[in-house]
């Protein structure tokens, strides 16, 4: 950015995506202010780093010397701080535009997909750190391996970012390496239909320059659909026998998972992860593919993924008392719920009680039938009211839609 930009104000700074960008900018020497409805550990961390944080939204929070205002997807344009910035003709940009600016002068690795973005971004970042690339990393979750933060300012030539497909934000990014972990119907309120969603992922992949490459999960039917339309070099991964990098003979035990790694026909032996579930096996394959293609020695790549400790709110074990274990997970899509419950069943062989808070009215309306099919690996499921996030209520859409769907599909204990 030009030296004329010295002070940046974030509206919705407590969001996990916004806070990571804010932290990188603070580390780069910019003055940062921000506001959010509620203060949190995240806003406290930013304040400790030097940001000025306001609780609530008001025009006076946009200070006189602010040069640009950044807002998140959760913030509406009638927000008083957005309105004040526009009145004063201060540039107002979306989070994705600022992220694109941070990527512009580095080799960007963008991790996209319906599921697995945060964990895969974290794993790729750790592989590059261990490989000596000293990358900048911006993750949509709090990463234990980064010391309990979601951002790391590196001085190398690479930046690793989570590329969010919501409202087509990821199309503002210019990755040198694009990773697509999964592709399913999601955010149809932004895209209208599944074909438009597929088209956006094709556009994202084809942004890669001629010297870059695209990493795709070959296990995913919709990714298979878009592969013929991707014109850049492709590396595939998965359990699929045709993938360039494969996991063979996966095994699961409590907090861990393991598999034999086959890379371009060669057996590299056993990989032992500290995170559970088949979904994490696949996430690690994507990270290994990126590391190996960048020329990092296999033993370094292996060590990096094996020491990965996970992301907060991704199968996070919060407590264990009297043989009762409490796990917190951000899963908010039917496929993610299935993966989490499968990991619990595979690893522990215990009775599973799932308590689920639906996220977004539109997602509940569009997928309540699929949600109903997601809980068969739970002995008991409890469905709460909907978390509204950025949406207004939709008449007739409640958590009871999902509960009734689960009952209709044969689940015997739903509350």
Tokens 């590391």 map to which residue?
291
Closest among 59, 61, 64, 23 to 43, alpha carbons compared: 23
Give the three-class secondary structure for 198. Answer: helix
117 catalytic, yes or no? yes
162 catalytic, yes or no? yes
Which residue among 23, 33, 117, 220 is the active-site one? 117
Which residue among 114, 118, 121, 236 is the active-site one? 118
CA distance 90 to 237: 45
* Cβ proximity of 148 and 172 under 8 Å: no
- Beta-bridge partner residues of 52: 33
Which residue among 23, 81, 162, 184 is the active-site one? 162
Q: What are phi and psi of 240, to 5 degrees?
A: -55, 130
181 catalytic, yes or no? no
Long-range contacts of 368-372 (CB under 8 A, 24+ apart): 368/401, 368/402, 368/405, 369/405, 370/334, 371/334, 371/337, 371/402, 371/405, 371/406, 372/402, 372/404, 372/405, 372/406, 372/407, 372/408, 372/409, 372/411
CA distance 25 to 98: 10
Q: Which residues are catalytic?
A: 117-118, 162
């Amino acid at each position: 950015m030009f030296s004329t930009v010295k002070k940046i104000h974030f509206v919705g700074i407590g969001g996990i995506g916004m806070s990571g960008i804010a932290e990188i900018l603070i580390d780069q020497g910019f003055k940062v202010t921000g506001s959010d409805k509620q203060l949190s550990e995240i806003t406290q961390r930013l304040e400790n780093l030097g940001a000025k944080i306001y609780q609530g939204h008001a025009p006076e929070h946009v200070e006189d010397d602010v040069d640009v205002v950044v807002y998140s997807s959760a913030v509406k344009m009638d927000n008083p701080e957005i309105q004040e910035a526009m009145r004063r003709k201060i540039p107002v940009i979306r989070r994705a535009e600022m992220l694109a600016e941070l990527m512009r002068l580095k080799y960007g690795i963008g991790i996209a997909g319906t599921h697995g973005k945060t964990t895969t971004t974290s794993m790729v970042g750790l592989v590059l750190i261990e490989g000596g690339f000293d990358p900048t990393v911006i993750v949509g979750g709090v990463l234990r391996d980064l010391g309990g933060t979601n951002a790391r300012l590196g001085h190398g030539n690479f930046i690793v970012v989570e590329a969010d497909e919501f409202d087509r934000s990821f199309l503002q990014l210019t990755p040198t390496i694009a990773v697509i972990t999964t592709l399913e119907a999601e955010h149809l309120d932004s895209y209208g239909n599944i074909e438009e969603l597929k088209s956006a992922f094709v556009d994202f992949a084809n942004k890669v320059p001629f010297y870059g490459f695209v990493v795709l999960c070959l296990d995913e039917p919709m990714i298979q659909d878009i592969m013929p339309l991707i014109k850049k070099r492709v590396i595939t991964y998965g359990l699929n026998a045709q993938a360039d990098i494969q996991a063979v003979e996966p095994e699961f035990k409590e907090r861990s998972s393991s598999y034999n790694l086959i890379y371009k026909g060669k057996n590299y032996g056993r990989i032992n992860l500290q995170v559970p579930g088949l979904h994490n096996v696949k996430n690690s394959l994507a990270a290994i593919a990126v590391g190996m293609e960048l020329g990092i020695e296999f033993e370094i790549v292996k060590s990096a993924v094996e020491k990965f400790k996970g992301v907060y709110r991704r199968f996070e074990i919060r407590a264990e008392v009297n043989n009762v274990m409490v796990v917190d997970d951000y899963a908010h899509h039917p496929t993610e719920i299935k993966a989490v419950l499968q990991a619990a069943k595979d690893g522990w062989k215990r009775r599973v009680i799932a308590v689920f808070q639906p996220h977004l009215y539109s997602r509940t309306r569009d997928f309540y039938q699929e949600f109903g099919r997601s809980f068969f690996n739970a002995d008991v499921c409890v469905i709460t009211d909907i978390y509204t996030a950025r949406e207004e209520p939709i008449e007739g859409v409640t958590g009871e839609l999902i509960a009734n769907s689960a009952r209709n599909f044969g689940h015997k204990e739903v509350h």
